[in-house]
Amino acid sequence: MSEKNHILRPGPRQAQRPDPKMTCFAAVPRGAEEIAAHELEQLGVGDVAAGRGGVSFTCNREGLYRANLWLRTASRVLVQLALFPCLSPEELYAGVYAIPWQELITPAMTLAVDCSLRDSALTHSGFVALKTKDAVVDRIREACGSRPSVDTAAPDVRINVHLSKNVCTVSLDSSGDALDRRGYRLERNEAPMRETLAAAVVALTGWDGSIPLADPMCGSGTIPVEAALLAAHVPPGLKRSFGFERWQDFDERVWKRLLREAEGGMQRLPLGLITGYDRDSRALALAARNAALAGFEGQVHFFHAALEEFQPEGDKGVVIINPPYGKRLGDEDELRELYCQIGDVLKKRCRGWTGFILTGNLELAKYIGLKASRRYVLFNGPIECRLLKYEMY
């Protein structure tokens, strides 16, 4: 393994440690790669390159912490340890064993292995994960005399193995829990939108907090809260912990400085900037609780109203709607009327505003009855969606 990939060092956590360059990969919902690449460029990391399902980049330890704290659209940040050809279980074991795991994991720590496979000779992810685990603990036992335990629920170190076209990439997952787990949404209503997808939708609208934003079908409030985090300059990772905090080389001094810097730049939202509406009282209660947990009690406002009663305040702004599209919630026949209603509300109630509809059903979208000026492809999990833009002159 090359010197630049020796990313972690053992020793006292308070000691001064070298800060080498790391090769990283931010996993991103499909369709949001360019948004995440722009986010990373704004954070000042190097060699940013968007690809399918994620963005590669290089950074030092501070850049890694900053990426986890601030990325709104990424789901994980992985730090590459090794890259090698892998056609057999023996090559997998040898490649993993060659990594100096004793520098990264002590016998007192716990670990877990995540695995993804594509177009490779090895086809069973459970077997690959088990073989990887064996190589890791054997190397540590050889060096230290004892081995770490496996904890799949809350490990100290999460190892990621990605095997694609017989090339194996072994990485450490610096995020721990997925980055969409911001810490503000404790309860989830039926078929919720992931926070990372909501952030991607807000980013694609171009909304920057200078004009109002309204969500007439807000559910548990994910889109309004993600918009609030953006407008108030609040990092989405402020209220959670990360995997790198349990690493051997964790630099608490740098991390605390980044948190202080972030807290110093946060702003209070103007009254009425962001509003959410829904006909479901339970969903609205969840939305208000989520907004409060995110730090926006009294700043993001929610109203009990059916779609046909929606009337935005002001002569211009952005309306975002994420209606059901018959994949998980609601029957397609019943939803046609809803999509007709969305078109009517945009035409009659939202003049001067810009409307955005996220749907995974283009047949239903025809019932909106308006011509979209732009279409963006996004994936809601496995469902290919379109974010449709409507200029309501």
* Global pTM value: 0.90
Per-residue confidence (pLDDT) for residue 185, from 0 to 100? 86
Per-residue confidence (pLDDT) for residue 378, from 0 to 100? 96
Please give the backbone phi and psi of residue 81, each rounded to the nearest 5 degrees, phi first: -105, -40
Per-residue confidence (pLDDT) for residue 79, from 0 to 100? 98
Domain residue limits, the chain = 3-173, 195-234+266-391
Look at residue 12 and tell me whether its pLDDT is greater than 60: no
Q: Residue 90, exposed/middle/buried by CB under 10 A (0-12, 13-18, 19+)?
A: exposed
Residue 244's nearest CA partner among 168, 165, 176 is 176
Angle in degrees, 0-180, between the axes of helices 89-97 and 125-144, rounded to the nearest 10 = 40
Contacts of 34 (CB under 8 A, 6+ apart): 50
Residue-wise pLDDT for 102-115, tens only, equals: 999 999 999 999 99
Q: Residue 106, exposed/middle/buried by CB under 10 A (0-12, 13-18, 19+)?
A: middle
Per-residue confidence (pLDDT) for residue 289, from 0 to 100? 95
Neighbours of 42 (CB within 10 A): 10
Look at residue 330 and tell me whether its pLDDT is greater than 60: no
Q: How far apart are CA 77 and CA 237, in angstroms?
A: 13
Residue-wise pLDDT for 344-376, tens only, equals: 999 999 999 999 999 999 999 999 999 999 999
Neighbours of 314 (CB within 10 A): 12
Residue-wise pLDDT for 130-140, tens only, equals: 999 999 999 99
In whole angstroms, what separates CA 223 from the centre of its chain? 14
Residue 39's nearest CA partner among 31, 52, 48 is 48
CA separation, residue 237 to residues 53, 76, 147, 330, 375 (Å): 21, 12, 32, 33, 29
Look at residue 2 and tell me whether its pLDDT is greater than 50: no
Q: How far apart are CA 329 and CA 306, in angstroms?
A: 17
Beta-strand (E) ranges in the chain?
22-27, 46-51, 54-59, 76-85, 110-118, 149-150, 157-164, 167-173, 213-215, 274-278, 300-304, 318-321, 354-359, 374-380, 383-391
CATH number for 195-234+266-391: choose from 3.30.465.10, 3.30.420.10, 3.40.50.150, 3.20.20.80. Answer: 3.40.50.150
Two tokens, residue 390: 């409507």
Residue 179's nearest CA partner among 45, 263, 65, 297 is 65
Residue predicted with more confidence, 325 or 224: 224
pLDDT band at 270 (very low <50, low <70, confident <90, very high): very high
Please give the backbone phi and psi of residue 196, each rounded to the nearest 5 degrees, phi first: -65, -40
Poorest-pLDDT segment among 86-90, 207-211, 327-331: 327-331
In eight-state DSSP terms, residue 74 is: -
Residue-wise pLDDT for 135-165, tens only, equals: 999 999 999 999 999 999 999 999 999 999 9
Look at residue 10 and tell me whether its pLDDT is greater than 60: no
Per-residue confidence (pLDDT) for residue 34, from 0 to 100? 97
Q: How many helices (H) and strands (E) does the chain have?
A: 10, 15
Identify the residue whose tokens are 């953006």: 230
pLDDT band at 316 (very low <50, low <70, confident <90, very high): very high
Average of pLDDT values for 43-66?
96
Order the strands of the 46-51 sheet from edge to edge: 46-51, 54-59, 22-27, 76-85, 167-173, 157-164, 110-118, 149-150
pLDDT band at 20 (very low <50, low <70, confident <90, very high): confident
Report CA Rg, the chain: 23
Beta bridge partners, 117, equal 163
Q: What percent of the chain has pLDDT over 90?
A: 88
Considering the segment(s) 3-173 as one domain, its CATH architecture is 2-Layer Sandwich (3.30)
CA angle 145, 149, 155 (to 5 degrees): 130
